[in-house]
Structure formats: C-alpha cells, structure tokens
Structure 1
Amino acid sequence: MTVTAFRPRPEPHEVAARVTATAAELLEVLWGRASTAPASASQLRVMLILEHHEGINLRTLADSLASTPPSTSRLCDRLQAAGFVERVVSPTDRREVRLYLSGRGRSFLSDLRTRRERALQAVLDQMPAAHRIALVQGLEAFCDAAAARIHDEDAGVPRGRTA
C-alpha cells in the first residue's frame, strides 16, 4: 500500500480554491509590472470603488475600505491633488461631501486596464485554444457566483441561502 492511500484526496472545490488563489497571486505579479504610479494600491482601490459607486460619501467609502473617515479623507486629499477625484457638496446636506472619479481618473483606470490586458494577453497567447475556451467558461461561472454572493451579502442574506 502506498503512503498516498492514507491521505484523503482534496475535494474539487478545495483544489479550485487553491488554484484560484494561486492564479490571483500570479495576476498580482503580472499586474504589478504594469505600474499603478502615480497612484498607490490604496488609492487605486478608492478609484475603483468610486467608479462603481458615483457620488458615494466619505463615511460609506471608509466603511467599504474598512478604514476610518480621517484616513480615507487623507487618501481622497491626495487623489484630489493628483486630479483623479472630485469632491462635491451634497445638494441635500451641505455637511456631506460626495466623491466622484474625475475625467483624469477615468483615463488613468482605462490606461491601466489596457496595460494589464496586454500583460494577460501575452500569457493567454501561450495557452492552447481549448484551454482558453475552458478558462473563459470557468471564469464566467466564477464571476456569476461571486457577483451573486456579493449581492446576497449586501442584501443581508445569510450564508448558504440566496435571495
């Protein structure tokens, strides 16, 4: 009897989780080569949130970042100074400031995405066509499941149940 007979085989979802985590780490390395300068990783995260949540207020942004409003405000100060973020006083409450991604911020994200896609394309070009097709199918299913989970968590649906 071999030693491996005593070890339980990992479940397919465990293997998928491990491979996906490795892929995410490799993407970080590849994308790290497509510099995010002049924005830091934290600033980039703010910009991505603002892109999807136009007009978010500082407190909600801080909650999204699991940060404090003063730290988030300083991040936004630097982004505003770089011309990536605009602050607008709320029309309903003058004490509240709404945050928007500026045209320059949108251009920066577009350029960054283009550079990242080129880096990915170089890797994908090395894969056989059948594997690329399987990857697309798997990633589409993954994105659907992840989006559903995020939606459910945002709606307060308990784990293991769907809305």
Structure 2
Amino acid sequence: MTSSTPRPRPPEVARVTSQAAELLEVLWGRASTAPVSPSQLRVLFILEHNEGINLRTLADALGSTPPSTSRLCDRLQAVGFVERRAAASRRELQLHLSRRGESFLVGLRSRRETALQSVLEQMPAAQRSALLRGLEGFCATAAAQIHDDDTFDARTA
C-alpha cells in the first residue's frame, strides 16, 4: 500500500528549516552570549574546530579581512577566551581557544539545550523521534558536504 501523503520537496524543506533556524536564533537569544557578540561567537566556534589556525585562515573562514579579524581576536583575548601563540616559524601566530573560552562554550551550549528541551518536551514523542532522525540525516549530509568542499578548496588553493 502506498502512502497518500506526498513527499516534501527540497525547496519546501529548505523553507521550513530556515524558519526553524530563525526560531532557534530567537530561542537561543534568550540564553545570553554576553560578553561576546555574534561575530566573536563565530570565531570561538571556528577555533574550537580548527585549533591553532592563523589569522589569515580565520579571516578567510569568516569572509573578513585580517585587520577586522585581528580586532575581533583582540577583544576575545582581552576577556580571556582566545590565546595567541607563536607558531613553529615564529613569524606567524596561532590562535587557540583558551580554557576559559572552552568553558564559556560548554555553558552556552548547556543554556541553549535547556531552552530547546522546554520546547521538545511539549512535542509528541513520535514527532521528536522523526525530528531526531531527520536532524541526524541532515547533520551527516551537511558535514560530508562541508568536508568535501574543504577538500576541494585545499586541492585548488
């Protein structure tokens, strides 16, 4: 027996996913990111996954300029979230997330998960299960695409 429910097309799913992302931003906005701005938070996330990158690589990842990125890092270093260390060549600095920066991200994620749990607890179990399966598939596909794009970029650089 076939289902009479039509399968959602990628544009429809993209629209709803975009709406969900916007709602998450509002929900997560209630979990303060102080003392960092959204741009600085992006730096912390990038450093968490790319430990020891240099300023130029970070600027490229942000789609920004090295001077602007340096100022972002100056502010993050001032609050103790980022450390600059000499690289092997000593002409270049590596950027690292400090222990305080790592602790900040752990706390932020905890606050965000708490906010999400209050919404998820109100959903029926079957919808939560479907959401989990869908998000696991989305994350795996997105991570693979990002990895493939990074591999392509590295080969063509």
> What TM-score do the two structures reach when normalised by structure 2?
0.91
Q: Give the alignment partner of residue 151 of structure 2, picking from 134, 137, 155.
A: 155
- How far the C-alpha of 1:13 sits from its partner, in A, is 1.1
Q: Which runs of 4+ in 1 moved over 2 A?
A: none
* Deviation of 1:11 (Å): 5.9
CA distance in 2 between partners of 1:95 and 1:155 (Å): 26
Pick the aligned partner of 2:19 from 22, 47, 56: 22
1:72, distance to aligned residue in structure 2 (A)? 0.4
* In structure 2, distance between residues paired with 1:104 and 1:112: 12
Where 1:34 maps in the other structure, the secondary structure is coil
CA distance in 2, matches of 1:130, 1:11: 18
User: What RMSD in Å do the two structures reach over aligned CA positions?
Assistant: 1.5
Q: TM-score, normalised by structure 1?
A: 0.88
Q: Percent identical across equivalent pairs?
A: 69
Q: Deviations over 1:34-85 (max 9, x none)?
A: 0100011011000000000110000000000000000000000000000000
Tell me, yes or no, if structure 1 residue 42 matches structure 2 residue 42. no
- Aligned-residue offset at 1:156: 1.5
Aligned mates of 1:41, 1:119 — CA distance in 2: 18
Distance 1:113 1:127, change over 3 A: same
Tell me what 2:126 maps to. 130
1:83 to 80, 86, 90: 80
* Aligned equivalent of 1:6: none
Select the structure of larger CA radius of gyration.
Answer: 1
For the residues of structure 2 that align with 1:106 and 1:121, how far apart are their CA atoms?
Answer: 22
Q: Which amino acid aligns with 1:81?
A: A
Structure 2 gap ranges (5+): 1-5
Size of the aligned set, in residue pairs, is 148
One-letter code of the match for 2:118?
A: A
Q: Aligned match of 1:139 in 135, 142, 147?
A: 135
Tell me the residue number matched to 2:67: 70
Q: In the TM superposition, what is the alpha-carbon distance from 1:10 to its structure 2 partner?
A: 10
Counterpart of 1:105 in structure 2 is 101
Is 1:32 the counterpart of 2:29? The answer is: yes
